[in-house]
A and B are shown apart, each in its own frame.
Chain A
Amino acid sequence: MSPPPAKNAEASPLFVGVDVGSSRTKVAILDAALNLIGYDVRKSGTDFSLTADACLKRALGMAGRKSEDVVHTISTGYGRKNVAFSRETRTEIGCHGKGCYHYFPRAVTIIDIGGQDNKIIKLDDGGRRLSFKMNRKCAAGTGAFLEEMSARLDIPLEDMDGLARKSNDMVKLGSFCTVFSATEVLENIRGGKKIEDIVKGLFYSVIKRVLEMDSMTENVVMTGGVVAHNPYLVQMTEEQIGRPVLIPPHPQLTGAVGAALYALEAVQAGAAEENN
């Protein structure tokens, strides 16, 4: 079934997903043919609504379209209820599942590493969610852990991936806790360990925390900003689980894409109801 037309009848309708995460806000715009035609990512900051507006504006600019063309928006993420132009929300767990299944329509285990939390989501081969888990009230294994460590080590976050790749003798960190890990890092610095070996140890620590949250099924997908900006984490995960990991085209946008897909479905369902 075709979705209803946009207010601007000349233009094809647009469906928007907004993912207001603890660290970054992401907007994805899909057209009716499910093409990702515009997107934006920026720091969530303190005014979620303002940030979401700015993201939408830039994403529309990228798509060369106007806000009048947007038929429906769904917001997700921690700030999902703070988006002024969204009337409907879904959880980020649902949206990540939806977004991943769009790119990989099969039974999958999704590992999403976000700024503040991790998620393990299992879908069956029809895209229905079987289970999900989020990390407990702890930064271990999240983007916040790497951010904290980059600040402590005075290394720009964007340099971490390159440094980890240079390591030949990874330092293994034993602690669960971010604060205790920081102490371990200091001990290793005092012990003369190379910084790249320590950084790889930090990456390894993230993966270990995530892999111990749940079991992995055959197909594993990784998403989230941490993965998008640190692709070496994916390579290290593949080494740990012994098989390739699937990565969507824009791993950081998966939740926003999922929300946009829900927006399209909601409109289709509404149209179907009207027709009935």
Chain B
Amino acid sequence: MTQEKEIVIRRLKTAKDLGKFMADYYYELDDAAKSGKKKVAWCTSVGPAEILRGMGFLTYFPETHSAMLGTTRMASDLIPKANAIGYSPDICSYLTADIGAFLEGVTPLSRAFPGIESVPKPDVLVYNTNQCRDVQDWFAWYADRFDVPLVGVETYRNVPEVTPAHITSIARQMENIVEPLEKVAGRKLDMDEFKNAVALSRECSDLWEKCLAAASAVPSPLTFFDGTTLMGPAVVGRGTRKAIDAYNLLLEELEERISQGIGAIENERYRLYWEGMPIWGRLSMHSKLFAGLNANVIASTYCSSWIFTALDPADPFESMARAYTELFIVRSDDYKEEYIKNKLEFFKCDGIIYHDAKTCPNNTNCRYGMPQRLEKRAGMPSLVINGDLNDLRMLSDEQTKTNVEAFIEQLEERK
């Protein structure tokens, strides 16, 4: 019988600091919702959070909550509850898991953070459809449920080049949500606070970009699987000083690892790129699977989704419009192909894994011939894993293992 070999994955010390950041964040929200001291806005993960900070809102991001439903493997039992009220199993499993959890009155926040009994009640919901239409439908359900206003930005899709027309349109939409938000906030948008939030978001984004870029070192001090949880502050804390402090610590540790030649896994022989959503309920399993084959998934499109280099406090609306439109997910396949090709070169990758997420077509980029085109252009071997971000009924672990092992065998033949 074959013996399982010991797998060495080196955890980052600062992961604890980032965990503390997330705990403080959720307790502050919980306190605000219970005491009514501050207004709470629910915001999509690449929504206009900086505007909300300029009005003193605390922001809660349901997508992060859904990812927690995934990592805790609560999602698969909750998704059917949303299916039963008319939300198809084929649509976003973030949406169905989150609504299912609400219907059942459960939340992983209670497990992670004692004392928190529920998600914080919103005073308003704010979306940007730059990710997908599902976020709008998702938030609309809660707006109806809580009887609170829903405002948002409807973005463009498949954008080859971001033009002034795109920027003007999105910037105006952002300006137009200010007035209804002020009514909820009970105060005016403070332009200084707003600009400060944009400046802090930019700083956070720049630091997060540097942290991710650290994975270009050989061996990489970071794995994609680390990145999916370390990115928490970039999502929920952008526009705050605390997020910047957290990433300064992380960057310091990563640079220390690089200077000492310490890799996140032992014996990094293959460097891989992950395209698509993580399979949240399998982060640990996948991290061990790859590490056990001396393969490190070092970089991804997904974790880079919270890099907003266009943000500029001198021109907050226009720069936010650009930053939130020039995102990978909003762009055309030509742009995406070039983007991935550059990342593969920058991170010195040997291969690319595409996650074909059953319920997330917008974050799945292997359905229109991308793997074949990139293989032809960049000679990059690829593997497609069928799965889902949250719905574990959509995947076969055994098939994933066999596919990954076979892919590494294939790379081995090329070494």
A residues bordering B, Cβ < 8 Å? Answer: 49, 75, 78, 80-84, 86-94, 117, 128-129, 131-134, 136-137
Contacts and interface: CB of A to CB of B under 8 A. Distances in A.
Contacts of A137: 386, 394-396, 399
A117 B409 contact: no
Nearest to B413: A128
21 contacts: A49-B1, A75-B2, A78-B402, A83-B1, A84-B1, A87-B2, A91-B409, A92-B406, A93-B402, A93-B406, A93-B409, A94-B409, A129-B413, A131-B375, A131-B410, A132-B406, A132-B410, A134-B399, A134-B402, A136-B386, A137-B395
Contacts of B382: 131
B118 to A, nearest CB: 35
Contacts of A75: 2
B381 interface: yes
Contacts of A136: 386
Nearest to A88: B2
A131 B381 contact: yes
Interface in B388-415: 394-396, 398-399, 402-403, 405-406, 409-410, 413-414
Contact of B2 (A81, A91, A131, A133): A81
Given A81-B2, A137-B386, A91 B406 contact: yes
A167 B384 CA distance: 38
Contacts of B386: 136-137
A204 B47 CA distance: 50
Nearest to A83: B1
B1 A78 contact: no
Top 9 closest pairs, chain A to chain B, by CB: A93-B406, A91-B406, A129-B410, A94-B409, A91-B405, A81-B2, A137-B396, A136-B386, A128-B413
Q: Which of B382, B395, B403, B409 has the most CB of A within 10 A?
A: B409
B414 A128 contact: yes
Nearest to B384: A133
A259 to B, nearest CB: 12
A35 B414 CA distance: 28
A93 B408 CA distance: 11
A94 B406 contact: yes
A86 B402 contact: no
Nearest to A215: B372
Contacts of B402: 78, 91-93, 134
